[in-house]
Amino acid sequence: MSGEDLNKLSVKLQIQEEIFGTELFQKIEGLNDLAETLNAVPLPQANKKVETQPKIEKVTPARSYIPEPSKAVLPQPAVTKFASVDATQFSKITSLTEFNELICECQKCPLGKTRNKFVFGSGNHNAKVMVVGEGPGADEDASGLPFVGRAGELLTKMMAAIGFSREEIFIANVVKCRPPGNRTPNDSEITECLPYLLKQIQLIKPVMILCAGTTAIQALMGRKGSLGSFRSQFYNLEDALVLATYHPAALIRNPEWKKPAWEDLKMFRSKYNELTGEIFEIKG
Ligand code: URA
């Protein structure tokens, strides 16, 4: 092949890379060497696959949500009959059904007044995998079920792509009631609601937890940080390993994040295979 032909090929490949990503180039081994030999325009660098074992960071179970120092003084929870639903009462609860009955009329934070339905979470009570989102949106508020809107459809597909059906997993949110206008729940709302999620985790005892979005991973880790600072790393919580990825609603708004999200999902599934001995071959 002449240097000119190779230049043309290089330009084409760069365009393909923009469309399909760099994975394409992993399969064209030796082409860069050829470019060098002919002293032509170098081809785009293939993604180097570095097979490193991700570190597992141990975190203390997030018993309380830790706000940023600037927001350290939180409003005190309103005193209602549910203010007395404390950890002592939780300790007597041994099933999710019982737990839902105890908390489903919660009025501990202002979201209780504006919600239509309390969204406890749904799925397999003995799930090995839990997915944690931020909080109910309009569709979830209307139905009482988590992740049933557009983002929910995408989440279902994402989990199916790594071999998990909705029936076998349990899906819950950091806050159980819809924040008006789908805003992000504030620190005080998260502080009030997080014990519910932690109790759900203790009852279900999942092997792994996938956090969908920044709010979920921040709440479970008990600290602030960007999604990027949490991704690609497993954390211990209770007896589960936790991994963070993009929220499906963010993927709908930013389709270019689907590729890194897919890397997260593959990482999640291969760790799950390793921990459980179950095998699911991921395509792609
Ligand atoms: N977004 C979430 O974080 N949770 C839901 O249940 C729905 C949308």
Tens-digit pLDDT profile for residues 99-145: 999 999 999 999 999 999 999 999 999 999 999 999 999 999 999 99
| Strand partners of residue 244 | 211
Task: Give the C-alpha separation, 117 to 110, whole Å.
Answer: 14
Cα atoms found within 13 Å of the Cα of residue 259, Cβ hemisphere only: 9
Q: Tell whether 38 and 179 lie within a shared domain.
A: no
Distance 219 CA to ligand 1 centre (A): 15
Among 19-28, 41-50, 210-219, 274-283, the range with the most confident prediction by mean pLDDT is 210-219
Check whether residue 148 and residue 262 sit in a common domain. yes
The tokens for 158 are 């994402």
Question: What is the tens place of the pLDDT at every residue in 253-268?
Answer: 999 999 999 999 999 9
133 lines ligand 1 (CB under 6 A): yes
Task: Tell whether 33 and 65 lie within a shared domain.
Answer: no
Q: How far apart are CA 166 and CA 159, in angstroms?
A: 8
Q: Is residue 116 part of a domain?
A: yes
Residues 97, 132 within the same domain: yes
The answer as to whether 80 is a domain residue is yes
**Enclosing domain of residue 141:** 56-276
**Does residue 282 form part of some domain?**
no
Tell whether 172 and 144 lie within a shared domain.
yes
Give the side-chain half-sphere CA count within 13 A for 263: 14
Rounded distance between C-alpha atoms, residue 152 and residue 51, angstroms:
32
Last residue of one domain, picked from the residues 9, 29, 51: 51
Contacts of 151 (CB under 8 A, 6+ apart): 133, 137, 247, 248, 249, 252
> Is 283 among the domain residues?
no
Domain boundary among 51, 76, 91: 51
**Collapsed DSSP state (helix, strand, coil) of residue 149:** coil
Pair 124, 188 in one domain: yes
Q: Kindly state if the Cβ of 246 falls inside 6 Å of ligand 1.
A: no
Task: Check residue 90 and give its pLDDT.
Answer: 87
**44 and 66 part of one domain:** no
Shared domain check, 78 and 32: no
What is this structure's pTM? 0.75
Q: Is residue 284 in some structural domain?
A: no
Same domain, 8 and 119: no
Residue 177 in any domain: the answer is yes
Q: Is 173 touching ligand 1 by the criterion CB < 6 Å?
A: yes
Specify the residue for token string 């997993």. Answer: 169
Centroid of ligand 1 to alpha carbon of 67 (angstroms): 22
215 within ligand 1 shell (Cβ under 6 A): no
Ligand 1 neighbour 200 (Cβ under 6 A): no
* CATH number reported for the structural domain that contains residue 186 in this entry: 3.40.470.10
Give 1-59 pLDDT, tens digit per residue: 566 665 555 555 554 444 334 443 333 333 333 233 323 333 333 343 444 566 677 66
Q: Do 169 and 259 lie in a common domain?
A: yes
Q: Work out how many domains the chain is built from and give that number.
A: 2
Domain membership of residue 70 (yes or no) is yes
Are 100 and 239 found together in one domain?
A: yes
Q: How many residues are there in the chain?
A: 284
* Pair (179, 198) in one structural domain: yes
Quote the ligand 1 centre to 135 CA distance (angstroms). 5
Give the pLDDT score at 56.
75
The kind and range of the H/E element at 196 are: helix 187-204
Quick count: other Cβ atoms within 10 Å of Cβ 159? Answer: 22
| Ligand 1 within 6 A of CB of 135 | yes
